[in-house]
Structure 1
Amino acid sequence: MMSFFSLILFVLFVFLFIREKRRISLSFLFIAALANLALSLVAFSNQIPWVNLIVAAAILASVPLSVLFVSIYLLLNGRIMLKKESKKLANMLSLLLSLLIFAMIGMFFYIFFISYNDKFAVFYLGTLLIFMYFSFVFVSFLAYAIFYHYWKIWYKPDFIIALGSGLIGGERVPPLLASRLDKSIEQYMKYHQVPKIIVSGGQGPDELLSEAEAMKKYIVAKGVPEQDVLMEDKSRNTMQNMLFSKAIMDEMKPDHKSIFVTNNYHVFRASIYARLAGLKKCEGVGAKTARYYMPSAFIREYIGIIMMYKWWHLAVVAMIVLFTAMILRSVI
């Protein structure tokens, strides 16, 4: 029965993925299908003597060990980020998340093994449910974002949209943006110099020129003909990148296909904006990012995803709080 349900989930995922792969809901279906498949394998192992005990022991051991490993990894990564990057909140996310996990572990041992109290125990379980919910959303997002990033693009684009980022000193292209532009040039050469490159990025209050202008100078200096580089210099965020670039493409070729280039951690969320902007054929290509930077970058993307659908998440949190309050009333 469980294997049949796994098949249903898998078929449903494939069907929806083929129709429109740029949806966050697919990430939950993706994880549900994988989890159900794993449960089916566990159920199958019960039919084999001793194997079920080994599988059960492995599962019981893997959960706390995984939590411990992730906590230590994020803590060490946080220290590296503090050494290599500026001490901004966005660069401290992996460190802060590790401290939160350690705090949850510490609270568990204190409440249930050192100073047990019914009220505190119920409050902790409610907090744990909220933490587990957001952990599930994060794991789903991360797994599907990686899967989506490596999915091959099967069509030939008419346009390549290079998404901008901040400039150094108000006019120079930083390494992060340079990696996007180099990848855009690589894609331009891959498709035999046929697509037009749209450099997309407006001018910030602390910038001497628009990101698009700086990006165009960089690409042209690398040997791309100037007439093949179009500027979109009004956008201030990813959604505007997509909307304003779409306007340029619609004017030049109404029935267009495109790809966008950003850093690998940003591909999936940017693809959602592309769908919301009405770009029917627009998939993402990711430029490489330094490995030490990836955890904080993915956490930042995850927060962005949460904010995009904040009312859904607030509704879930409200239900958990209500459930916890009902239990607390019965305990008092």
Structure 2
Amino acid sequence: MLAALLFLIPASFFVLGMVRDRRRLSNAIWLGIALVMLLLLLADVGRDNPVLSLPLAFGFLLAVVGLLLLPLALLANGLVMVRREGRSLGNLLSLLAGLALLGEMAYFGWGILQPNDWVRGSAIGLFLVSAYIAFLFVSLLLYSVVYGRTGRRSGFDGIIVLGAGLIGSRVPKLLANRLDRAMRLYHRDRAAGRSPVIVVTGGKGADEEVSEAFAMREYLVERGISADDVVMEDQATTTDENLSYSKALLSERGHTGRVVAVTNNYHVFRTAVLSRNQGLRLQVIGAPTAWYFVPSAFLREFVALLVRNPVVHGLACLVLMAGGLALTQIG
């Protein structure tokens, strides 16, 4: 009974948050807590039921194996990213995360066997901190999938396409995917009798020959979109500016109905959170991304969401670290 109640409480908060606003960051946390409680509930129910206990034991074994293989998978992905995309910090994230996980596992395995209480306590504390970060990561990853697969897919008056880097003046595949998704939305609403406009947004980078907005507009017009239905916003340099400047342009032109922003799938939920923080009423839809690019890209999104609340997460990590140290002192 208690296990069922512990599941129903976070599940109820999750459903309520989804109904109120799907862009709430807390929805991801409630989803993660509800899933943990669900696993505990299933374990409690299946304790004396072999029909449930065997699949649960197998699932637990797979989770352990997956956890042990995760650092190696991140290292492999990091090497692919460096080879294909270069050695920027963003492209190195999966490689660095894999090294950090291997280091934490090695330190925990070594430290937990040491006679010194402080060494054992620090090993336990680092394990708890890693578990906390892993919980947040998995919660945000799962909720990003939930958010990306729910909501409207048509009925928009404005379609905002967020910019991404150019190669000189050429639209690369990553950005082309966003534009192609926007065109599908545009044609779907045109077929339904609506008259949506597409806002292409993005300024000119130091290594770019033209603004992102200009290159995006040319891409759309070359593929049959009427130039009258494409609005350029060529000043923005961040996602926050992409959203606010584009929404202002739509309002100036009298487009005050439903608006959707299009970006790549790994960037969807953070864009939704930013739009909510700005008080903008819009939905975000994702475009496909090359498989090898997703891990590093989502790690960037995860870090960007974490640093929005540095005090909360910093205090949580300090408490967990202190708890690990305290456990060995009590023992």
TM-score, normalising length: structure 1: 0.91
Contact 2:17 2:24 in 1 (8 A): no
The residue number in structure 1 matching 2:181 is 183
Task: Give the match's secondary structure for 1:308.
Answer: coil
Tell me the residue number matched to 1:287.
287
Q: Which residues of structure 1 form unaligned runs of 5+? A: none
Map 1:102-113 to 2 at 5 A: 102-113=102-113
Percentage of pairs with the same residue: 35
**Aligned positions of 1:2-41 closer than 5 A:** 2-41=3-42
Match of 2:257, as an amino acid? Answer: H
Q: Distance in 1 between matches of 2:56 and 2:287?
A: 40
Does residue 195 of structure 1 match 2:193? no
Letter of the structure 2 residue corresponding to residue 225 of structure 1? S
Q: Which residue of structure 1 lines up, in the alignment, with residue 272 of structure 2?
A: 271
Distance 1:234 1:56 in 2: 53
Q: Report 1:89-128 matches (<5 A).
A: 89-113=89-113, 115-128=114-127
> Which sections of structure 2, spanning at least 5 residues, go unmatched?
none
Amino acid in the other structure paired with 2:226: P
Q: Is the 8 A contact 2:177 2:287 kept in 1?
A: yes
Aligned-pair CA distance for 1:224 = 0.3
Q: Tell me the residue number matched to 2:262.
A: 261
- Structure 1 window deviating more from structure 2 (4-13 vs 20-29): it is 4-13
1:126–1:321 CA contact under 8 A, matched in 2: yes
Q: Which residue of 2 aligns with 1:167?
A: 166
* Other structure's SS at 2:236 match: coil
The separation in 1 between residues aligned to 2:305 and 2:33, in whole angstroms, is: 19
Alignment of 1:276-315 (within 5 A): 276-280=277-281, 282-315=282-315
TM-aligned CA distance change 1:229 to 1:325, over 3 Å: same
Following superposition, the deviation at residue 206 of structure 1 comes to 3.0
Asked if the contact 2:129–2:320 (Cα under 8 Å) also holds between the matched residues in 1, the reply is: yes
Residue 239 of structure 1: CA displacement?
0.4
Kept after mapping to 2: 8 A contact 1:250/1:256: no
Question: Superposition RMSD on alpha carbons, in Å?
Answer: 2.2
Counterparts of 1:56 and 1:247, CA distance in 2: 52
1:151 matches 2:160: no
CA positional deviation for 1:273: 1.2
Question: Counterparts of 1:83 and 1:189 in 2: how far apart (Å)?
Answer: 37
Distance 1:290 1:72 in 2: 20
Shift of 1:266: 0.4
> Aligned to 2:190, what secondary structure does the other structure show?
coil
Q: Which position in structure 1 is the counterpart of 2:243?
A: 242
TM-aligned CA distance change 1:256 to 1:38, over 3 Å: same
CA contact (8 A) 2:262 2:285 kept: yes
Letter of the structure 1 residue corresponding to residue 46 of structure 2: S
Q: Secondary structure at the match of 2:112?
A: helix
Match for residue 45 of structure 2?
Answer: 44
Is the 2:117–2:329 contact (alpha carbons within 8 Å) kept by the matching residues of 1?
no
Name the aligned partner's letter for residue 82 of structure 2. L
Deviation at 1:329, TM superposition (A): 7.2
The alignment's TM-score, normalised by the length of structure 2, stands at 0.91
Instruction: Kindly tell me the number of residue pairs found equivalent between the two proteins.
Output: 327
Paired amino acid for 1:234? Q
